[in-house]
Amino acid sequence: MGKTWGKNGEKPYRHAAHAMIYAPDGKKLWDMYENKAVILMMMRFDGYIGFPGGIMDDGETVEFGLNRELEEEIGLDPTRHSFTKEDHVLSYVTHNKRLLLHFYCKKVTLEECLEIEKRTIDADEYGWEVLGPIRVPMFTLNDNERGLPIFLSNKFIGNAKEELLYCIERENIMTKEEIQLALENCEKFKARYMR
């Protein structure tokens, strides 16, 4: 696929795709913190947090390109965890109108998720474009800030934070109200420490 001409005719968009892999029921591992799920993100080479994925090469379908990028970036085995159209969540044009971004989400078992996470350090791009896997802290401590709220004060690439929160609600990991509270507590933390 590579490029699609915009509706107004002139400018071709390049396609890019990123994906969230998660396992529900993380609290089996960490009773203490009532972890709501294990969600995989990554630290990018530019210091931003994002999801694995990237820009499609000319001629590739989005799913083919996504699976290629996931293999390169996090060592995902396409014979076991290949992304398909069924995993598609949403698509949008970026603010500068250069890219048509596609977002995917896949639920796996906790065992599979931990195995996928372990493989990331053997991926081709580990230490280059990908500095390491990151687990989203899906818990909040008694101070209402440490855990997910403060994690949300990090720098996220593009709309990665919005994609994360959208999927957390869509996959019934947290309610809209719980997410709103985490965002409010994030703002309180930022007002105190990040002025």
Ligand X SMILES: O=c1[nH]cnc2c1ncn2[C@@H]1O[C@H](COP(=O)(O)OP(=O)(O)O)[C@@H](O)[C@H]1O
Q: Does 19 bind ligand X (CB under 6 A)?
A: no
Residues 6+ apart with CB under 8 A from 192: none
Of 71, 74, 58, residue with least CA distance to 13: 58
State the number of binding residues for ligand X (CB under 6 A). 15
Residues 86-145 that bind ligand X (CB under 6 A): 99, 101, 129
Taking the complex as a whole, the smallest distance from the CB of residue 55 to ligand X amounts, in Å, to: 4
Residue 126: Cβ within 10 Å count:
19
Nearer to ligand X, 25 or 162 (CB): 162
Which region, judged by CB under 6 A, interacts with ligand X, from 130-138, 144-152, 159-167, 187-195?
Answer: 159-167
CB burial of 73-94 (b: ≥16 within 10 Å; e: otherwise) equals bbbbeeeebbbeeebbbeeeee
Q: Does 157 bind ligand X (CB under 6 A)?
A: yes
Task: Return the residue of 62, 163, 173, 189 that touches ligand X, per CB under 6 A.
Answer: 163
Give the C-alpha separation, 175 to 136, whole Å.
Answer: 16
Taking the complex as a whole, the smallest distance from the CB of residue 141 to ligand X amounts, in Å, to: 26
Nearer to ligand X, 16 or 174 (CB): 16
Task: Return the residue of 67, 120, 140, 159 that touches ligand X, per CB under 6 A.
Answer: 159
Residues 6+ apart with CB under 8 A from 143: none
Give the C-alpha separation, 13 to 5, whole Å.
Answer: 6
Taking the complex as a whole, the smallest distance from the CB of residue 182 to ligand X amounts, in Å, to: 19
Using alpha carbons only, what angle is made at residue 102 by residues 113 and 95, rounded to the nearest 5 degrees?
125
Task: Return the residue of 15, 16, 35, 165 that touches ligand X, per CB under 6 A.
Answer: 16
State the alpha helices, DSSP H only, in 38-172. 62-74, 78-81, 110-119, 148-151, 160-170
Taking the complex as a whole, the smallest distance from the CB of residue 142 to ligand X amounts, in Å, to: 31
Residues 25-64 that bind ligand X (CB under 6 A): 50-51, 53-55
Task: Return the residue of 88, 144, 158, 183 that touches ligand X, per CB under 6 A.
Answer: 158
Could you list the residues that contact ligand X (CB under 6 A)?
Answer: 16, 18, 50-51, 53-55, 99, 101, 129, 157-160, 163
